[in-house]
Structure 1
Amino acid sequence: MARVVSVFHSTKKQITVERLLTLSTVVVLVLLWFIVTELKLVSDILVPSPHKVIKSFFEIAKDGYKENSLLTHLGDSMIRLIGSFLLVIITAIPLGLISGYNSKIRAIVDPLIEFYRPLPPLAYYTLLVLWMGIENSSKIALLYLAGFAPVYISCVSGVRKIKNDYIDGAYTLGANSRQVFFHVIFPACLPDMFVGVRTAIGVAYTTLVAAEMVAAVTGIGWMVLDASKFLRSDIIFLGIFIMGITGIIIDGIIRVVESKVVPWKGKE
């Protein structure tokens, strides 16, 4: 019992130290940014001061940007991102699990994934616009394709690295194929699945700017691109911070869900 208590306090202390290190990293970076801009080591056009970025945030929060509020820009980006992400989850996960379980299906699907996966998003975005128009459907499709491959590949990898002993043991105990899939294969793949999901949301978010480049008038990515035309580096920095913070929040939500669904991860 004393050993368990000792390990608990040691782990708690380690987490506290790690959080302090994370906080100190952020503080140091902000201080360096402040010092560089205050001493005017770099042109204000290239690197705006923290005060200027904060001022731009309050101005846009109050008056909006190009006739649309900040919440509208953020909301439209989130609709495109989360809409595509939900489509990825309900299609890539089942297909990845089935492909990992069935080599014939994998032989059919893998060539398609491996062909388009290395392609830059803008290479096929013009085709999506021609096929689906300039509305949200083409943008969601682009983000969907960007996020599909990481989730699919992680699910296939998760299935293929399951030890045969687990599957054979389940069959020996009288389980059928359906029970083996849902009670052995699926739980064993969850850690890899969440890695793929977290990777996919990052890839999709980085593609968001490309998705909002063509015929968009709202979105955080579009706001950054539009501001760059007028050398508004303060708005560019603001947009980057908003995308970074929302990305961290979304990833944090996924990690919380993962801790509830896969409590055994890292405790083997």
Structure 2
Amino acid sequence: MSPAESAAGAPTIVAPPSPWRARLTKLALPLASVVVFLAVWQVVAWAGIWNQTFVPYPSTVWRAFIDVSTTHDGTRGYAGYLLIEHLYMTLRRVLAGVVIGVGVGVALGLVMGSVGWLRSVLEPWLTFLRALPPLAYFFLLVIWLGIDEAPKITLLALAALPPAAVATTAAVLAAPVGLQEAARALGASRAQVIRDVVVPAALPETFTGIRLAVGMAYSSVVAAELFNGIPGIGGLVKDASNYNNTPVVLVGIFAIGISGLVIDGALRAAERRAVPWRGKI
């Protein structure tokens, strides 16, 4: 066999893709979608299909962002607070509500997944609560708790609780029965089985439930800040909408969305560190 024939018959070795190239591609696609979105927005605003009160130019929204983020003409931000201060108050409320809601939800899910009769009692109530939109009971919370921080944090906690509880319950029920039986055969107590087998097996889906819970709480923040919500992004959006101040409303919406993306990214990173075995077993 000639060298040329040997070379032709040899298997082709394909070099693995560069990790940097993969990362750049992963970063470029979202950035490209943002550019396309801004271009379409600019064209729609320029075409004048809708009044600029409803669809302002991106540059108008950018100026509104600068205005609410700085002190200008003797006016400090919006309603006396800078955008970062509005966002800080919103995040503080969300954090308080999520800590309470997720903490109770995960604990409840562990118990419901382990105790059948308790699951039968509580599951319909969780489904009932999950089906209710936040505004359905927010006014009742205002009547009961007033218009300060208590009803806001309670609303966010109630929004975060069902996803965390349901996901944790399902994760506990899906824990490998074989591993549990093997642990019992080796002399492990029920508490040890739950701690060493059930909880590690349930962690991946529990983290998914936590992410959903944070998303539910964050999507409810505007409703939570309907009353006495300034400082707060929800209060800013509501107040600006009362005056048809669409640029400021859009600034608030973008602030909620972008900060939500950052929070979700942080939760994903925490999940990768806390549950490195996800998808590997």
Alignment TM-score, normalising by the size of structure 2:
0.88
C-alpha separation in 2, matches of 1:151 and 1:11: 35
**Residue 254 (str. 1) matches residue 267 (str. 2):** yes
Please tell me whether the aligned partners of residues 145 and 151 of structure 2 are also in contact (alpha carbons under 8 angstroms): yes
Q: Residue 211 of structure 2 aligns with which residue?
A: 198
Tell me if the contact between 2:94 and 2:217 (Cα under 8 Å) persists in the aligned partners: yes
Shift of 1:12: 5.9
Once the two structures are superposed, what CA deviation does each residue of 1:82-117 show, in whole Å capped at 9, x if it has no partner?
A: 100111232111111111011122123223212222
Match of 1:32 in 2: 40
Residue segments in structure 1 that go unaligned for 5+ positions in a row: none
Q: Secondary structure at the match of 1:147?
A: helix
Name 2:155's counterpart in structure 1: 142
The 2-side partners of 1:71 and 1:27 are apart by 25
RMSD: 1.8
* Structure 1 residue 210, shift from structure 2 partner: 0.8
Q: 2:142 aligns with which of 116, 126, 129?
A: 129
Report what 2:53 is aligned to: 45
Q: Aligned ranges for residues 1-268 of structure 1 at < 5 Å?
A: 9=17, 13-62=21-70, 63-268=76-281
C-alpha change, 1:6 and 1:108, in structure 2 (3 Å) is: farther
Residue 117 of structure 1 aligns to a residue in which SS? helix
Instruction: Report the secondary structure of 1:141's partner residue.
Output: helix
Between structure 1 and structure 2, the one with the greater Rg is 2
Question: Which ranges in structure 2 are unaligned for 5 or more consecutive residues?
Answer: 1-13, 71-75
Give distance in 2, aligned partners of 1:235 and 1:31. 20
How far, CA to CA, are the matches of 2:106 and 2:279 in structure 1?
Answer: 22
- How far apart, CA to CA, are the structure 2 residues paired with 1:6 and 1:250? 36
Equivalent pairs, count: 263
TM-score (norm 1): 0.92
Q: Which has the higher helix share?
A: 1
